[in-house]
Amino acid sequence: MITVCGELVIDLIPAAHPAAPDDDTAPPPPRYAAFPGGNALNVAVAAARLGNVVHLMSRVGPGPFGRLLRDHATRNGVSPDALLTAGEPVSLAVVELSDAGSAGYSFHTVGAADWQWTAEELTRVWPGGTRIVHVGSISSWTPPGALHIADLVRRVRREGSALVSFDPNVRPSLIADADDVRARVTDLRRTADLVKVSAEDLAWLEPDADLDEVAVRWAAEGPALVVVTDGDQPLRAARAGGALLRRRPPAVTVVDTVGAGDSFAAGFFSGLVRTGVLDRAALLGLPDDELAALLDDAALVAALACTRAGAAPPTLAELTAARR
C-alpha cells in the first residue's frame, strides 16, 4: 500500500481559445479551465492509475472544488478513507504556461485547508499497512501542519514500517521565511529514505549548486537514495558510497509539464512495489542496473504525462504500450 500525504489544489490552466472581446480593440480576456491538482493528489492518482493500492491523506475543503477533488481521486482508484472533511477553503493555483509548455504558478492559499493538520488528525486517518509513504510540497513546510507531518515521518522512519519519500517541491512565491523553509526541507530530506528533488527546486534551496555534487552530498546525509530531476536533461541518482547514475529521459512532444515530477515519483513507487523493494536495506542493496531500469520506467511515466494538458498521468496499459 502507498500512502500520500499532502495538499489538494485546483489548477486553473489557460484555455486554448480565449473568449472574443465585446470591444474589438481590447485584447481577449483570459479563460481558464479548472483541473484537479496538487502534489499529493497528482502522485496518488498517478500511482493508482499504474495499478497500485493508494490512500490519500488530505484535508479537503467544501464546495464544488472540494467535490471535484474528491471525485477525481476516487474515480481514478484512490481510496478516500484518509480524506478528512475540512471547513477551510480549497487551495487555488493559477497556471502560466511558457511557449515550451513549462508551468509557472500563482497560488491563492491563505487560510486554506491543506496546512491545518493536527497531530490527532494525522494519527486518526493514518492507513495501517502502509509500505511507502510520500510527503512533500507546500504542506510539508507550511505551518502549522508541517510540524505534525514531520513528526509523523520521523515516527515511521524510526519504526521502519514503511519507506519514507520526500519531494520539497518548493514554491518561492508562498514563502515568507526562507531560512525556516530551508531548515524544514533539510530536516525532512535527512529523515526520508527516498528524496526526489528538481533542479528548479535546488536553484532556490542551494543557489549555484552543482547537481552532481548535491546528489552525492545529500545521499551521504541520511536517505537511501537521492534523485535529482532536470526536465528533459539527464537525471542523477545517488546512494551513499555508491556510483552516481545519470539517466536521460525519453524525448516527447510536450503539451505542458504540469504534474510531471509527481508522475515520476508515482512511477518510481510503482516500480518499487512491483519488484518488492519495500524497505531501506533493499533500496540500498539494489544493483545499479536494476535501479537504472526503475528510474527509466519512472522517467517514461513522467514523459507520457507531459504529452497531455494538466496533471494527466498514464494508465498501466498506456505505460505498458509505451514500453514496447
Q: Buried (b) or exposed (e) across 28-61, using 16+ Cβ within 10 A?
A: eeeeeeebbbbbbbbbbbbbbbbebbbbbbbbbb
Cα distance between residue 131 and residue 129, in whole Å: 6
User: What is the amino acid identity at position 174?
Assistant: L
User: What global pTM score does this model have?
Assistant: 0.89
Q: How far apart are CA 103 and CA 94, in angstroms?
A: 10
Q: What does the alpha-carbon distance between residue 273 and residue 268 come to, in Å, rounded to a whole number?
A: 9
CA-to-CA dists, residue 319 to 79, 290, 313, angstroms: 22, 18, 10
Which residues in the chain come in under a pLDDT of 50? Answer: none
In this prediction, residue 80 carries a pLDDT of 94
**Res 23: pLDDT:** 59
The three cell numbers of residue 41 are: 493528489
pLDDT digits (tens, 9 = 90+) for 56-114: 999 999 999 999 999 999 999 999 999 999 999 999 988 777 766 666 778 888 889 99
pLDDT of residue 307: 87
Homologous superfamily of the 2-14+32-323 domain (CATH): Ribokinase (3.40.1190.20)
Distances 297 to 66, 167, 169, 247 between C-alpha atoms, Å: 32, 18, 21, 11
Give the pLDDT score at 16: 66
pLDDT at 24: 65
Residue spans of the domains in the chain: they are 2-14+32-323
